[in-house]
Amino acid sequence: MKVLLSIFSGNEKILHIQKSLESLGCEVELMYSDAYRQVCPYYRKKLDELGLHSGRRKYLQSVHDRFYQLLENFQPDIVLFINTPKDILTVEDIRYANRFSKTVCWFVDGIAGRSEIEDYLRVFSKIYVFEHGDVAYLQQMGLLGTYLPVGYNDAFSNVSPLEKKYDILFIGSPFHNRLQILEKLSMAAVEKRWNLQIIGPFYDEKYPWKKLIFKRKYPYIYRFLENRRVSSEEAAKLYAETKICLNIHDTRHKSPNPRTFEIMATGSFELIDRRGYWGGLLPEKDVVEYMGEDDLIDKIGIYIANDSKRKEVAYRGNRNIVGKFDMKSLLVKVITDVMKIGEG
């Protein structure tokens, strides 16, 4: 099975899709779908803003040429796009790919209401969505979408149980709703002397004034923050070293995010905001849900002192997802489904 994988470089660092496909015996060619402004030097961004687009044109032409060369020379059975390649390829490019291969798009971001990708949605051979509500959105457009959550990679299942160093851990980006919750949690952590760890890219270190602004606006988060990104391997180790792993979703999403499964894969206890759709998970058995900041703090107080209950929930959650939500199992489903297209 030959697979041409088109993915944003940041997503590949997290999801390890190429490695998972290769472990399944697939031959994989990787083509990053990063937008021009994500890869060009700073001075090129400024030139682009001034309307001088020669760098952008050269970049897009090089991507276009490589895509066509891979289609013709590699001759993939499947072209797998992780999110639409709207920043680098046109709808006509996808139509051309359909002459060689089956084109699949697996959305790891929500798509409802995104008018800029509607034309792309109509040309893929198969669409998968991680947000369950997007299935209905596609139906309204007369399109078929399949719910497929974004699971965990091997780094999270390979970690061994570790001694608990931290009471509470959050790893992630600073969405507005997260900042509100984390500031209140940080205030409680100071008061109750909880060992809280917050890790993520919360401000740009290149600009000192951004650090000062953040510290002034969120003084309690700042006390507990490590302002940096972490690899999957480090995140897995940190989860395994923590009593309560916190999952706060972007308010736009109602289905479980990848972090849901990553935490569970390490055999750790997860405290998660209530979901509109659980996708086979059992709240209060596999994970513990909370509703709002006060409920979150109350439940931390309950579970931080109850080792046996935390271990029971963590064990059940881990058993429920093993072999179901790992990246390899999810990709097997994609490959199996896609190869049936056109049969009968």
* pLDDT tens digits, 233-286: 999 999 999 999 999 999 888 999 999 999 999 999 999 999 999 988 999 999
- Residue 344 — pLDDT band, cuts 50, 70, 90? low
Q: Do 106 and 182 fall within a single domain?
A: no
Q: Do 314 and 165 fall within a single domain?
A: yes
58 vs 150: CA distance, rounded Å: 33
List alpha helices for the chain, DSSP H: 9-15, 17-23, 36-39, 42-49, 54-73, 91-97, 118-121, 133-140, 154-157, 176-192, 208-217, 219-224, 232-240, 258-265, 292-303, 307-321, 327-339
For residue 49, what are the CA distances in angstroms to 37, 44, 53, 262, 332? 10, 9, 8, 39, 43
Contact of 130 with 107, CB cutoff 8 Å: yes
Question: What is the phi/psi pair of residue 276, to 5°?
Answer: -80, -20
Q: What mean pLDDT is predicted for residues 105-130?
A: 92
213 vs 93: CA distance, rounded Å: 44
- Residue 343 — pLDDT band, cuts 50, 70, 90? low
| CB-CB neighbours of 334 under 10 Å | 19
- The tokens for 25 are 């015996």
DSSP state of 257: P
Q: What are the residues whose beta carbons fall under 8 Å from the beta carbon of 303, sequence distance 6 or more?
A: 243, 244, 269, 271, 288, 309, 310
What was the pLDDT predicted at 248?
97
Q: Do 210 and 184 fall within a single domain?
A: yes
Q: What mean pLDDT is predicted for residues 206-214?
A: 92
Q: Do 117 and 253 fall within a single domain?
A: no
Confirm whether 344 is domain-assigned: no
Q: Do 135 and 40 fall within a single domain?
A: yes
pLDDT at 210 over 70: yes
Parent domain of 273: 154-321
- Residue 40 — pLDDT band, cuts 50, 70, 90? confident
For residue 155, what are the CA distances in angstroms to 149, 169, 313? 18, 18, 21
Q: Do 183 and 146 fall within a single domain?
A: no
pLDDT at 177 over 70: yes
Q: What mean pLDDT is predicted for residues 171-194?
A: 96
Contact of 71 with 2, CB cutoff 8 Å: no
Question: Chain-wide mean pLDDT for the chain?
Answer: 94
**CATH code, domain carrying 334:** 3.40.50.2000
Give the tens place of pLDDT for each residue, 62-98.
999 999 999 999 999 999 999 998 989 999 999 999 9
What type of residue is 48?
D
pLDDT at 166 over 70: yes
Q: Do 234 and 118 fall within a single domain?
A: no
- The tokens for 287 are 């994970």
Looking at beta carbons, which pairs linking 218-223 to residues 24 or more positions away fall under 8 Å? 218/179, 218/182, 218/183, 218/186, 220/183, 220/186, 220/187, 220/189, 220/190, 221/179, 221/182, 221/183, 221/186, 223/186, 223/190
Q: What mean pLDDT is predicted for residues 99-118?
A: 91
Angle between helices 258-265 and 232-240 (to 10 degrees): 60
What was the pLDDT predicted at 3?
96
Confirm whether 104 is domain-assigned: yes
Count of the separate structural domains present in the chain: 2
pTM across the whole model: 0.92
- The tokens for 59 are 């970049």
pLDDT at 169 over 90: yes
Q: Do 317 and 209 fall within a single domain?
A: yes
| CA 176, chain centre distance (Å) | 18
- Residue 112 — pLDDT band, cuts 50, 70, 90? confident
Confirm whether 198 is domain-assigned: yes
Confirm whether 255 is domain-assigned: yes
**Which position has the higher pLDDT, 35 or 21?**
21
pLDDT at 38 over 90: no
Q: Do 78 and 170 fall within a single domain?
A: no
- Residue 145 — pLDDT band, cuts 50, 70, 90? very high
Q: What mean pLDDT is predicted for residues 223-239?
A: 96
What was the pLDDT predicted at 318?
96
Q: Do 42 and 122 fall within a single domain?
A: yes
Confirm whether 146 is domain-assigned: yes
**Which position has the higher pLDDT, 160 or 249?**
249
Q: Do 104 and 168 fall within a single domain?
A: no
Q: What mean pLDDT is predicted for residues 325-338?
A: 95
Q: Do 120 and 67 fall within a single domain?
A: yes
- The tokens for 65 are 């040429």
Contact of 156 with 23, CB cutoff 8 Å: no
Contact of 116 with 83, CB cutoff 8 Å: no
